[in-house]
Amino acid sequence: MAMKPPDPQVVVIFGASGDLTRRKLLPALYHLFVENMLPEGFAVVGYSRSGLSDEDFRARARDALERFARCSVDAEAWSEFARRLSYVSGGFDGSNAMDHLRGHLDAIDRRHRTQGGRLYYAATPPAAYPSIAARLSQCGLHEAGRIVVEKPFGEDLASARALNAHLHLGFDESQIFRIDHYLGKETIQNILALRFANGMFEPIWNRRYVDSVQITVAEEIGIEGRATFYEETGTIRDMVQTHLLQVLTFVAMEPPVSLEPDRLRDEKVRVLRSMRPVDPRRVVRGQFQGYRDQPGVSAGSQAETYAALQVEMDNWRWAGVPFHLRTGKRMNRKLTEVSLLFRHVPFNVFGPADGPGPVRDALVVRVQPEEGISIHLNVKKPGVGLMDVERASLDFDYEKTFSTPLLEAYELLLLEAMMGDHTLFTREDEVERAWEVLAPVLRDPPPVVPYAPGSWGPPEADALLGPVR
């Protein structure tokens, strides 16, 4: 893939012995490396409390790649990559906690010609972010650096504001990259191309033609040993405040004046500002049966593993159009989709005048799996005499159309952060407004209702939103 690689730099991963580093970050960096998308002057420094040597860190990295990399681990590429890996053991407390990191980075600059470029990646639990930002600035390491922080950004509006204030003590907004990996998915970015690079959809992309919008993120997996996190966080904070609202902004935004990061983000914020704060009576929180038997989950847990919400916007484009957001774990299958359901024809000539009429047209963006776009519509069934209509689809499939394999979300976002491009990262005001919109339901959550693992969620959600398309 021909592109100019980012400037020389060291990627410093805080939380280097953790799960995110193993499952996502190291495999993503390795893949970018073998695809020649990284600069010649490039190195990775792992930092965490665990007392590991460079060799231990490399052995762990090798194991992570064997298990999670998308490509096979080639001996030559691995030895080139491994040469660029090193490890510093340390904590985040005490103003001089990172002094030795500073010396290490200077040595790396000399060894790997990384020229003082730094990308700090906070892959730790969020509680450590303020200390990481504070220590980096106390050691003067923030000056030439960018910092990537993982979600969740706080647990409500007040904590998000406090976190943003902490980050800003050392870094200004142009240095901060809040990652939401859904924005790294090609199919989510393609919503913008579908809407703004084609003339045919935008005229009907509004309340006059659209009856409702469904955003569904169903997962087959459960909580995967993350009981402590899920007990504290739950699906609304983990998935809705982040991924689902981000997807919603792409679907609902006005055409941006350019794709400049801040012009795009301005439009996303306008969507969030036009959203009505969520009414808890329009929310169903579900919990899959068996969740309370998982180790680390309390017997009377009220943490939700599923959420269905009806949200509305007060603006000219969307007034009166319900947006149905649904997401859950242990559901029937993995499926992420955005569906626009169009209004019924005003008069049905195909059946009894008082009959239900043809099924509504739908435009579906298949985010994953089988990435693509479908338009479901009614066509005439072949045959003489009767004018019967039946459902048919127009389908676009990424894999069939493009031979280039899609970059994985973390690969793309790491690269964008290394290049300093904020387009696919969330801005401070976006994150804060997203918390504000959810505040009523976080303050006054309805009790959780059970649902069967392998189902499409609790029946109460279908009663509120109708069935999944």
250 membership: H or E segment, kind and range: helix 245-252
Three-state DSSP state, 392 = strand
CB 318 → ligand BG6: shortest distance, Å? 25
Site string for ligand BG6, 171-210 (x = CB under 6 A): ----------------------------------------
Query: What are 177's two structure tokens?
Result: 């990259």
CB 251 → ligand BG6: shortest distance, Å? 17
CB 45 → ligand BG6: shortest distance, Å? 25
464 membership: H or E segment, kind and range: helix 459-465
Give residues with Cβ within 8 angstroms of 315, minimum separation 6.
274
Give whichever of 114 and 305 is closer to ligand BG6, judged by the CB atom: 305
* Residue 75 main-chain phi, psi, to 5 deg: -55, -45
Using alpha carbons, list the distances in angstroms from residue 367 to 186, 267, 336, 370.
8, 22, 5, 8
Query: What are 139's two structure tokens?
Result: 């050691």
Question: Which residue type, as a one-letter code, is found at position 142?
Answer: H
| Chain position whose Cβ is nearest to ligand BG6 | 238
DSSP 278-330: PPGGGEEEEEETTGGGSTT--TT----SEEEEEE-B-STTTTT--EEEEEESS
Give whichever of 135 and 151 is closer to ligand BG6, judged by the CB atom: 151
CB 24 within 8 A of CB 410: yes
Window 328 to 367, contacts with ligand BG6 (CB under 6 A): 336
45-68 burial, b at 16+ Cβ within 10 Å, e below that, comes to: bbbbeeebeeeebbebbbebbeee
Length of the chain: 469
CB 238 → ligand BG6: shortest distance, Å? 5
CA-CA distance, 210 to 208, in Å (whole number)? 6
CB 298 within 8 A of CB 231: yes
CB 336 → ligand BG6: shortest distance, Å? 6
CB 17 within 8 A of CB 50: yes
Given 219, 361, 411, 416, the residue binding ligand BG6 (CB under 6 A): 219
Strand order, beta sheet including 42-48: 85-89, 42-48, 9-14, 118-122, 145-149, 176-178
Give whichever of 219 and 337 is closer to ligand BG6, judged by the CB atom: 219
CB 291 within 8 A of CB 223: yes
- Given CA atoms 79, 81, 83, 86 in this order, what sign does their dihedral have? negative
CB 19 → ligand BG6: shortest distance, Å? 11
| Beta bridge partner(s), residue 390 | 379
Give whichever of 219 and 411 is closer to ligand BG6, judged by the CB atom: 219
- Rounded to a whole number, what is the distance in angstroms from the first to the last CA of the chain? 37
Catalytic residue ranges:
243
- Residue closest to 16 by CA, chosen among 29, 27, 25: 25
Give whichever of 114 and 327 is closer to ligand BG6, judged by the CB atom: 327
Given 238, 408, 411, 432, the residue binding ligand BG6 (CB under 6 A): 238
CB 369 → ligand BG6: shortest distance, Å? 10
CB 329 → ligand BG6: shortest distance, Å? 7
Using CB under 6 A, list all residues that contact ligand BG6: 219, 238, 336
